[in-house]
Amino acid sequence: MDKTLIPVGIDVSKLSLEARVFLPERSAGLFTRVANRDEGLTQLQHWFLHQGYTRVHACLEATSTYSDLVAHFLYEQGHHVSLVNPARVAAFRTSEGIRTKTDRHDALVLARFCAQKRPDLWCPTPAPIQQLQVLLAHLDDVLNMRQQERNRLENLRLDATTRQSIHEHIQWLHTQIQQTLQRAGALLEQTSTLAEPCAHLDSIPGIAQLTAMRLYSVYFDQQRFNRAPKLVAQAGLCAAQEISGTSVHRRASISKVGNAQIRKWLYMPALSVMRSDVDFLRWVGELKARGKSNKVIIVAIMRKLLHIVHGVLKSNQDYDPCKAFPSHYAKEELPAA
């Protein structure tokens, strides 16, 4: 990362972009406002060049699809781009004592955040991964809608016509779910860069094809997730302790600061392996012997599964129980040796 580049904060909304250049000698900095469409982005690039900046470090909040156009445009123009978590920016605003919140001030906060923190650089998601993410997001939406309709059927006051309408909608949603799963499966078959890693993840006990696709859609970037603890932190499964002096000494728990969906995806696989897989059963017995509760054991299994996911993706090989549980097999091989 080039830390000499001029930091620029860009506040993104549906219709407009508020850009602000951070200059230490000028508290207000340089400011411009353009439309959040192609001609506005061209004006923004001309404005950068007019100010004498051929390359900048632009910092944006991750605002769903509204930030996609400007992020891709700046990346293609050779600028450094960072998409940051809005929670980090909100905490930074509080730490700086900034009380005013307008689009122009938001851009200034982003510019100051970029100047002080120099956040990690963003790069576009590969097209196959993005297509997979869109399919899986649509699948989750349809699954949620089907569950909502099933919950409505519990209303005993519904008349026969309304109940029949809900049943028909549930059947239509079921068809959409099957079609979306087929499209995701076809995408895997047609794209070797997706099929191979998902097949390796599918070899892990408790993880089927759908969970493999979901996990890979998050952990596809091997540079970002180059260590297993980063996978665990992204899922919010890392330990969080609160100890201060003699008065504060709370029991450690998982942080839950991360992607809650990953914890949801791993819950059923964790229950499955703790009941059916030989190695996990043996490990669960060891944890119970140490006095661990079932809830703690389930969380430990979810963490273990993420460590295995990291090992499988990094080695580009199928699951190997000897590597996942080396102590089990080392003890068995000692007498023979």
Domains: count for the chain? 3
CA distances from 157 to 148, 152, 166, 260 (A): 17, 10, 13, 35
User: Are 36 and 66 part of one and the same domain?
Assistant: yes
User: Are 94 and 138 part of one and the same domain?
Assistant: no
**What local confidence, expressed as pLDDT, does residue 100 receive?**
87
- How many Å apart are CA 19 and CA 163, to the nearest integer? 52
User: Are 230 and 175 part of one and the same domain?
Assistant: no
User: Are 113 and 132 part of one and the same domain?
Assistant: no
Of 63, 98, 117, the last residue of a domain is: 117
pLDDT, greater one: 65 or 143: 143
User: Are 226 and 329 part of one and the same domain?
Assistant: yes
User: Are 169 and 254 part of one and the same domain?
Assistant: no
Domain-located, residue 240: yes
Q: Residue 32 belongs to a domain with what CATH number?
A: 3.30.420.40
Backbone angles phi, psi at 97, to 5 degrees: 70, 25
User: Are 133 and 32 part of one and the same domain?
Assistant: no
Domain-located, residue 270: yes
Report pTM: 0.89
**What local confidence, expressed as pLDDT, does residue 337 receive?**
43
Of 258, 263, 259, 260, the C-alpha closest to 295 is 263
- pLDDT, tens digit, 9 for 90 and up, residues 253-291: 898 888 999 999 999 999 999 999 999 999 999 999 999
How far from the centroid of its chain's Cα atoms is residue 321's Cα?
27
- Give the pLDDT mean for 63-81: 93
Domain-located, residue 39: yes
- Quickly tell me which residue has 């993410």 as its tokens: 133
Tokens of 139: 């699948």
214 neighbors 292 (Cβ within 8 angstroms): no
Domain-located, residue 200: no
Confidence of residue 248 (pLDDT cuts 50, 70, 90): confident
> Length of the chain in residues, anyone?
337
Domain of 138 in residue numbering reads as: 127-190
Of 143, 173, 190, the last residue of a domain is: 190
DSSP string, 42-92: HHHHHHHHHTT-SSEEEEEE--GGGGHHHHHHHHHTT-EEEEE-HHHHHHH
User: Are 105 and 140 part of one and the same domain?
Assistant: no
For the cut 90, the answer to whether the pLDDT of residue 158 exceeds it is yes
Tokens of 94: 């509080």
For the cut 90, the answer to whether the pLDDT of residue 2 exceeds it is no
Domain-located, residue 40: yes
58 neighbors 80 (Cβ within 8 angstroms): yes
Domain-located, residue 165: yes
CA distances from 243 to 53, 132, 248, 250, 251 (A): 47, 42, 5, 6, 9
**What local confidence, expressed as pLDDT, does residue 334 receive?**
47
User: Are 63 and 156 part of one and the same domain?
Assistant: no
Strand arrangement of the beta sheet that strand 26-35 belongs to: 26-35, 16-23, 6-12, 56-61, 80-84
Of 174, 190, 206, the last residue of a domain is: 190
User: From the CB of residue 62, how many other CB atoms can be counted at a distance below 10 Å?
Assistant: 16
Domain-located, residue 27: yes
User: Are 255 and 320 part of one and the same domain?
Assistant: yes
Task: Provide the residue type at 211 as one letter.
Answer: T
User: Are 60 and 80 part of one and the same domain?
Assistant: yes
User: Are 110 and 160 part of one and the same domain?
Assistant: no
